[in-house]
A and B are shown apart, each in its own frame.
Chain A
Amino acid sequence: MTAAGAWRAHRQRSEPTGRSPVTGIAAATALAAGVTLWSAFPLSTGRSGTRLALVTAIVAGIMSIAQLAAAAIGNRDSDSFAALDQVAQWLTGLVKMLPWAELLIVAVLGLEALHGSRPWHTALLGIALTGYVLAVHLTETRAGAGVLRAQLPLLSAGIALTALSVGAAALPHFMAGSTDAAIRIVVLVVAVVAVGLAVPVWLSRPGPERGR
């Protein structure tokens, strides 16, 4: 195909990015609320500092959603000196000042660590946190879920490894015998599946671009 032909073909394929961010913001909100509640409760079993971490997670969650909403609305520079406009600009600046999504992740991880060991609970939290990260990314770039197709094998492998870790954490609780042997077999299968999914993707990465 000539350069002009390629240009024409891609001109037709390129699309204006005008997807509504409402669905993405709703999904991110649900996931942020979900991971906060999931990691915080029951509050009674948490060590000291649980309440502080919970407040931090709630604030960071609200601000991260506000950040997404502010990005969706876009910059509206105003020359107006009206008090309301000034306050709105100040609030927007505050929302955009810190990486609130990262703070939420740290706070939620802290909340989970402040509770006792509960492997399956932590594994589900990990999956939900990964989902939150992906939802935030899709919302802020206004991209469709199709852009994550390339990451799907890696995500599957990661979830398999998460399951593996749950198995590893649960092993000491089982008595030696037939159950122990069965779990070891399941863990082995999961590990093989994870490696089988991840290695081809890693090998198929495009090579470094040659300079022109």
Chain B
Amino acid sequence: MHWSLSGHARRLLVLAVGGVVLAVLTRRAEFAGLAAPALLLLATWQSDRNPQVEVRIHLGTASLVEGVSAPLQVEIHGHEPFAARLLIEPGESVTAGAAVDVPGGHPTRGAVLWVVPTRWGRYSLGVLVITFTDRYRLTEGTAVVELPYASTYPHAASLQSSVVLSRLPSRLGEHPARAAGDGIEFAGVREFVPGDRQRRINWPATTRHGTLHLSTFSAERTQNVVVIADETSDVGEPGASSLDLVLRGASGAITRYLAARDRVGLIIFAGRLSWIGPGQGRRHWYRLLDLMMSTPGGWDRAPGLTRLPRAALPPGSLILVFSPLLDARLVEALRDLRERGFSVLVVDVLNTEPAHDGSRLSRLTARMWHLEQEAVRFSLTQIGVPVVHWDGVTSLDTPLAPYTRRALVAHR
């Protein structure tokens, strides 16, 4: 901790010394009077100060999310008589609120400062500069405290509806299935057979037909969803690049399906494959998001990525792919998935195109690139893999609407 004269004290000192020196040199008493207020203020200066201060910093939230402000609780122990000014000098990709003044006079003083991470990732939040000022504003002590590194999760894309497969595994969940079961969604009426529960007798139908009839209900099942996040490419404007959209979209889908009690898994398709098998619950949500944050993106051409591991893909899963579809290995992997009988839905997040200078050759190249991209998407559609385009601005419900209105037929 560094103690020094404040700027205020320096100016008072200049005024006092200047007045006294001029009073002596010019033998004019009024200059001594001119220096009197400054001299009296400087007389309160103290030289003894404790060089130690204890600062505790606590991030007031379990996880940071890009674009969402998070409280930072600061506790200061020591230097009770001194007022403190707390100012965050934010690191890269972080914005901070205004400085906070904490009055002196108590052994434990605290303040809440706010930081807003502006991009996903793991980085330092910056430094906290604490400036202690004595009662008479003559002495300043400055302490600089390094703020912790924090993982910032991508802002989850809004998704209120969900794509549900027509054929669901026989595991208790919340999606009404075609099979009859013990759910709450009415499915139909059938004749009573011995062994049926009497409480399900449909009395209006029984009266009409003259024989016992009972109501049937749909079974409620869960589904396995595997989200594939393609991190092989990062093109477009920073903050709205394809990688940003991939992570936001994947995060939104994971959040939505876990909230619907589905089992969700994640495959990161980058320079190498990383995955977590399907699971449920809040803890699993953190595991998936942490995997998303911890996997380094890569453009290296690792072999063997065209076939995704069986362990990460339970049979009958719904595969949601977030990708700009710029990597041929992923396209091959999707074809392979389709051949293995999975229901695959691709969310295309490519919102940019290569820049061209307007020359004939450049225009021709751009045209070829467009045709190639169209061909990739067309070929996927032809093998039964729907491709929808998402611009990253609207809700994910908009592009997925054709597939969320009714159950997605699982082709075998």
Q: Is B78 an interface residue (CB 8 A)?
A: yes
Contacts of B14 in A (CB 8 A): 102, 105-106
Q: Which chain A residue has the least Cβ–Cβ distance from B21?
A: A109
B40 in contact with A158 (CB, 8 Å): yes
B40 in contact with A10 (CB, 8 Å): no
Stretch from B98-106, B338-346, B377-385 at the A interface: B98-106
Given contacts A117-B28, A209-B79, contact A14 B34 (CB under 8 A): no
B282 to chain A, nearest CB (A): 28
Bound form: Cα–Cα A106–B16 in Å: 10
A10 in contact with B106 (CB, 8 Å): yes
Q: Mark A100-136, 1 if CB is under 8 A from B, else 0.
A: 0110011001001100010100110111011001001
Count of interface residues, chain A, beta-carbon cutoff 8 Å: 64
A10 in contact with B102 (CB, 8 Å): yes
A109 in contact with B11 (CB, 8 Å): no
Bound form: Cα–Cα A11–B72 in Å: 12
A133 in contact with B38 (CB, 8 Å): yes
Contacts of A169 in B (CB 8 A): 28-30, 33
B11 in contact with A101 (CB, 8 Å): yes
Q: Which chain A residue has the least Cβ–Cβ distance from B25?
A: A113
A residues 45-96 touching B (CB-CB < 8 Å): none
Q: Is B329 an interface residue (CB 8 A)?
A: no
A122 in contact with B11 (CB, 8 Å): no
Bound form: Cα–Cα A126–B19 in Å: 9
Bound form: Cα–Cα A206–B11 in Å: 23
A17 in contact with B101 (CB, 8 Å): yes
B110 in contact with A7 (CB, 8 Å): yes
Q: Is B12 an interface residue (CB 8 A)?
A: yes
Contact residue among B8, B31, B99, B103 (Cβ-Cβ distance under 8 Å from A137): B8
A211 to chain B, nearest CB (A): 6
Bound form: Cα–Cα A22–B372 in Å: 59
Contacts of A143 in B (CB 8 A): 101
Contacts of A109 in B (CB 8 A): 15, 18-19, 22, 31, 34
Q: Which chain A residue has the least Cβ–Cβ distance from B78?
A: A212
A166 in contact with B33 (CB, 8 Å): yes
B32 in contact with A165 (CB, 8 Å): yes
Q: Is A42 an interface residue (CB 8 A)?
A: no
Contacts of B359 in A (CB 8 A): none
A154 in contact with B19 (CB, 8 Å): no
Contacts of B261 in A (CB 8 A): none
Q: Which chain B residue has the least Cβ–Cβ distance from A17?
A: B99
A122 in contact with B30 (CB, 8 Å): yes
A residues 129-163 touching B (CB-CB < 8 Å): 129-130, 133, 136-137, 140-143, 147-148, 150-151, 154-155, 157-159, 161-163
Q: List 15 A-B contacts (CB under 8 A).
A: A6-B107, A7-B108, A16-B98, A17-B99, A99-B10, A112-B31, A122-B34, A126-B37, A130-B37, A154-B37, A154-B40, A155-B37, A161-B36, A165-B32, A208-B46
Question: Which A residues are closer than 8 A to B by beta carbons?
Answer: 3, 6-11, 13-18, 99, 101-102, 105-106, 109, 112-113, 117, 119, 122-123, 125-127, 129-130, 133, 136-137, 140-143, 147-148, 150-151, 154-155, 157-159, 161-166, 168-169, 198, 201-202, 205-206, 208-212
Inter-chain pairs besides A7-B108, A122-B33, A150-B136, 5 sampled, C-beta below 8 Å: A105-B14, A133-B11, A202-B44, A205-B46, A211-B52
